[in-house]
């Protein structure tokens, strides 16, 4: 079922799900191609989903299935009037085979539509009414559960809105990590500062290493020889 051709089915299912849990609650659901991820207006909330959908190229008529269909919702509740409003945007994908192809709208099975809206109603009931989480819808066909693989960021409409080249909904920006230490550095102790090398010349006696400290009589200074001669001359003079 193409979501843009028969959106009344989405609206009807949405009303049935929310009235079942919150009778009398007044909420509306509308498509809006102008809302963007992480850009809700003041007082609005944002809800995002990544779901399964099928596409057909309008140029070559090729079909493909993707488990990376992005759905964005912005919602607001007027507490005074007890009325709520949901704006929904379902992002498209481009054909990988056709150059310059347009973003195509996805198709969803009836089960997937109910699953998407069940998740949306769950979010509304928890955020605005404090309700418990509803039981998820688990009747997924085998061909839907087996899909896995890399996301085609070049042909995803949601990715085209991100300055980082990745889906603005499914991928968070990661800060760059510092380089991992080498195996040698992991097992060794932290580096210590090296002691200053022994200095030559007129160096303070207290700054010398233990090996460099000598007693005065071990230094062999010419001054000792001069003092000894002077002492002998003085003794001879006294006599």
3-state helix, strand and coil shares in percent for the chain, rounded to the nearest 5: 30, 20, 50
- Kindly calculate the radius of gyration of the chain based on its CA atoms and give it in whole angstroms: 40
Coil, strand or helix: which one is 68?
strand
Position 175 scores a pLDDT of 38
Position 123 scores a pLDDT of 95
For residues 116, 121, 123 and 128, what is the CA-based torsion angle, rounded to 10 degrees? 160
Position 151 scores a pLDDT of 80
d(CA 124, CA 143): 30
Per-residue pLDDT of the chain (239 residues; tens, 9 = 90+): 455 457 899 999 999 999 998 898 899 999 999 999 888 999 999 999 999 999 999 999 999 999 999 999 999 999 887 899 999 999 999 999 999 889 999 999 999 999 999 999 999 999 998 887 666 655 444 344 445 567 888 899 988 887 666 675 544 434 344 445 454 544 544 444 445 444 444 444 344 433 343 444 444 556 666 777 777 777 766 76
Q: Find the DSSP H helices in the chain.
A: 7-21, 110-129, 142-145, 157-160, 183-187, 222-238
Position 80 scores a pLDDT of 83
According to DSSP, the residues that pair with 75 across neighbouring strands are 45, 86
Position 213 scores a pLDDT of 39
Position 73 scores a pLDDT of 97
Query: Parallel, antiparallel, or unpaired: how do β-strands 83-90 and 26-31 relate?
Result: parallel
Query: Parallel, antiparallel, or unpaired: how do β-strands 26-31 and 45-56 relate?
Result: unpaired
């Amino acid at each position: 079922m193409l979501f843009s051709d028969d959106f009344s089915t989405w609206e009807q299912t949405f009303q049935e799900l929310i009235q079942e849990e919150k009778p009398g609650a007044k909420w509306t659901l509308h498509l809006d191609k102008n809302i963007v991820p992480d850009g809700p207006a003041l007082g609005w909330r944002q809800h995002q989903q990544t779901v399964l959908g099928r596409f057909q190229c309008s140029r070559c008529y090729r079909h493909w299935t993707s488990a990376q269909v992005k759905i964005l919702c912005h919602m607001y509740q007027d507490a005074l009037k007890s009325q709520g409003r949901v704006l929904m945007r379902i992002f498209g994908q481009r054909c990988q085979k056709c150059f310059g192809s347009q973003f195509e709208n996805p198709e969803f099975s009836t089960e997937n539509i109910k699953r998407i809206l069940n998740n949306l109603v769950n979010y509304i009931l928890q955020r605005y009414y404090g309700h418990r989480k509803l039981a998820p819808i688990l009747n997924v066909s085998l061909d839907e559960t087996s899909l896995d693989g890399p996301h085609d960021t070049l042909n995803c409409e949601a990715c085209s809105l991100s300055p980082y080249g990745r889906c603005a909904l499914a991928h968070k920006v990661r800060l760059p990590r510092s380089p991992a230490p080498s195996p040698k550095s992991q097992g060794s102790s932290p580096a210590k500062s090296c002691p200053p090398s022994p200095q030559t010349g007129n160096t303070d006696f207290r700054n010398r290493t233990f090996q460099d400290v000598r007693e005065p009589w071990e230094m062999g200074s010419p001054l000792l020889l001069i003092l000894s001669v002077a002492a002998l001359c003085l003794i001879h003079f006294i006599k």
